């Protein structure tokens, strides 16, 4: 259903601003897909980012997105200061109200008031940009500083805002980021799973519960229309994700070592990069796993897909997650998943059906699941993979999810 049908010709399609702290980013392909699907629905979407991460980009589609994105901190400070001064002069009462809110938020947050003064300055700049672009509504991804900026911009007199909460970061510091206040002031809020919705209910006043909606992250036809590729005979696993503490790479290496020590022969590719790379490389060397574990560094979404197709299964032993898009991607192309039973993951992965759920933080549970996957025949893995394909197609089609989100944008403009 298109926006034109949703509107029933009552109003022009809305112009939406997407605001992200860093966009485009290597790990944010799901936002790019969401924007593209919304545009297919008939919405006009303008991209805004607080800061750039252009140096990290390897995906050609991300590079194209960068050209479409206005980045606040890429502009000269002289230009930004003039814009801020204009807001102060034109809207002094609103500015004082927003300044007071910024201080209230800052004293609760470990980042402190100075950072929130910077967020207020960014909000002033975006207020002017949104007005120039005739923006009707702002949608932020992640309930952290990008939503803080959107909220302050709204207090200054800018457009209404909504935001998508992914977790786990937002749920780790609910009070520090004033999540309840952001929900109270928002037009609506999106959770990416039923688990996420339940966590927002925990911290939200009952009267604000109707604002909370589930809109899944989705995949486009590049994944959903993929014909099934047979499971390879070679025992090979892939782990896709930033090399960071929450993804469980060090636990994975311990599990690999235990399996190798008991006679299993297989390979693992770690597709990604990050702040823990040197520690991961050090543990690979210490465990003598150089011949069976390799690291790709940052790779494009097409390379991620190719790595998944080469593997018998995806393994992702995370300690904290929302609902990882790479799990959807793996299942969509017929690869079972070994992952932890946390957050929204059990809503998608079922042990013995399309993968294996393991106890978070338990190397014993991880070893058991990896052993089961390695001992499962390609024919049985194929059955599991096809089950995963069906479930993702049902729950994570980006066109269907974007239609739901587009409807929320339209309804928020009519209320």
Question: Is the pLDDT confidence value at 5 over 80?
Answer: no
Q: Please report the beta strands in 235-305, taking only residues with DSSP state E, as ranges in sequence order.
A: 236-240, 267-271, 293-297
The chain-wide mean pLDDT, for the chain, equals 93
Residue 6 is predicted with a pLDDT of 43
CB 19 within 8 A of CB 150: yes
pTM, two decimal places: 0.91
Residue 111 is predicted with a pLDDT of 83
pLDDT tens per residue, range 279-312: 999 999 999 999 999 999 988 888 999 999 999 9
Among 73, 70, 69, 66, which Cα is nearest to 122's? 73
pLDDT tens per residue, range 318-341: 999 999 999 999 999 999 999 999
Least confident stretch, 96-100, 175-179, 410-414: 410-414
Kindly indicate the confidence band of residue 12, based on its pLDDT and cuts at 50, 70 and 90: low
Residue 301 is predicted with a pLDDT of 84
Among 162, 125, 105, which Cα is nearest to 51's? 125
Question: CB-based contacts of 57: which residues, under 8 Å, 6+ apart?
Answer: 24, 26, 63, 66
Residue 4 is predicted with a pLDDT of 45
User: Which residues make up the CATH 3.40.50.2000 domain(s) of the chain?
Assistant: 3-218+397-414, 224-395
Instruction: Tell me whether the omega of the peptide bond preceding residue 168 falls within 30 degrees of 0, making it cis.
Output: yes
Phi, psi of 324 (to 5 degrees): -60, 130
Question: Is the pLDDT confidence value at 8 over 70?
Answer: no
Residue 7 is predicted with a pLDDT of 44
- Exposed, middle or buried: residue 156 (CB in 10 Å: 0-12, 13-18, 19+)? buried
Kindly indicate the confidence band of residue 277, based on its pLDDT and cuts at 50, 70 and 90: very high
pLDDT tens per residue, range 391-409: 999 999 999 999 999 999 9
Q: Which CATH architecture has domain 3-218+397-414?
A: 3-Layer(aba) Sandwich (3.40)
d(CA 201, CA 61): 36
d(CA 156, CA 145): 16
CB 139 within 8 A of CB 18: yes
Give the pair of three-digit tokens for residue 333. Answer: 């192309």
Q: How far is CA 43 from CA 24, 49, 274, in A?
A: 19, 19, 35
d(CA 319, CA 342): 8
Least confident stretch, 1-5, 131-135, 152-156, 228-232: 1-5
Question: Is the pLDDT confidence value at 80 over 90?
Answer: no
CATH number of 224-395: 3.40.50.2000
Give the pair of three-digit tokens for residue 343. Answer: 């957050």
Kindly indicate the confidence band of residue 13, based on its pLDDT and cuts at 50, 70 and 90: low
Residue 415 is predicted with a pLDDT of 62
Residue 58 is predicted with a pLDDT of 78
Quickly list DSSP for 46-71. EEEEEE--GGG---HHHHHHHHTEEE
Q: Angle at Cα 312 formed by Cα 309 and Cα 318, nearest 5°? A: 95
Residue indicated by tokens 């003598």: 288
CB 122 within 8 A of CB 49: no
d(CA 326, CA 231): 18
């Amino acid at each position: 259903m298109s926006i034109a049908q949703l509107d029933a010709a009552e109003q022009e399609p809305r112009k939406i601003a997407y605001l992200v702290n860093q966009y485009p980013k290597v790990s944010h392909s799901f936002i790019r897909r969401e924007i593209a699907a919304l545009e297919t629905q008939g919405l006009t979407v303008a991209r805004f980012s607080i800061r750039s991460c252009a140096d990290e980009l390897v995906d050609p589609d991300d590079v194209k997105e960068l050209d479409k994105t206005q980045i606040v901190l890429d502009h000269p400070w002289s230009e930004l200061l003039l814009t801020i001064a204009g807001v102060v002069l034109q809207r002094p009462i609103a500015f004082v109200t927003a300044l007071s809110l910024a201080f209230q938020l800052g004293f609760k947050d470990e980042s402190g008031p100075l950072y929130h003064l910077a967020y207020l300055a960014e909000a002033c700049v975006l207020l002017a940009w949104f007005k120039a672009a005739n923006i009707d509504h702002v949608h932020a991804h992640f309930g952290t500083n990008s939503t803080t900026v959107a909220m302050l911009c709204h207090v200054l007199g800018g457009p209404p805002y909504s935001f998508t909460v992914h977790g786990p970061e937002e749920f780790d510091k609910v009070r520090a980021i004033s999540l309840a206040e952001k929900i109270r002031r928002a037009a609506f809020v999106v959770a990416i799973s039923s688990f996420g919705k339940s966590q927002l209910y925990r911290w939200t006043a009952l009267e604000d519960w109707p604002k909370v909606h589930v809109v899944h992250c989705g995949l486009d036809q590049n994944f959903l229309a993929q014909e099934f590729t047979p499971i390879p005979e070679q025992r090979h696993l892939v782990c896709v994700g930033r090399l960071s503490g929450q993804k469980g790479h060090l636990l994975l290496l311990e599990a690999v070592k235990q399996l190798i020590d008991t006679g299993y022969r297989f390979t693992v590719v770690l597709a990604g990069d990050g702040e823990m790379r040197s520690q991961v490389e050090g543990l690979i060397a210490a465990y003598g796993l150089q011949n069976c574990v390799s690291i790709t560094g940052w790779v494009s979404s097409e390379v991620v897909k190719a790595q998944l197709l080469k593997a018998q299964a995806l393994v992702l032993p995370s300690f904290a997650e929302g609902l990882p898009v790479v799990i959807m991607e793996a299942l969509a192309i017929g690869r079972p998943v070994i992952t932890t039973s946390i957050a929204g993951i059990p809503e998608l992965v079922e042990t013995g059906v399309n993968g294996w759920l393991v106890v978070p933080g338990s190397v014993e549970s991880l070893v058991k699941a990896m052993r089961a996957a390695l001992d499962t025949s390609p024919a049985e893995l194929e059955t599991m993979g096809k089950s995963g394909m069906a479930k993702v197609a049902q729950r994570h089609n980006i066109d269907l999810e974007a239609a739901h989100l587009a409807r929320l944008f339209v309804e928020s403009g009519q209320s």
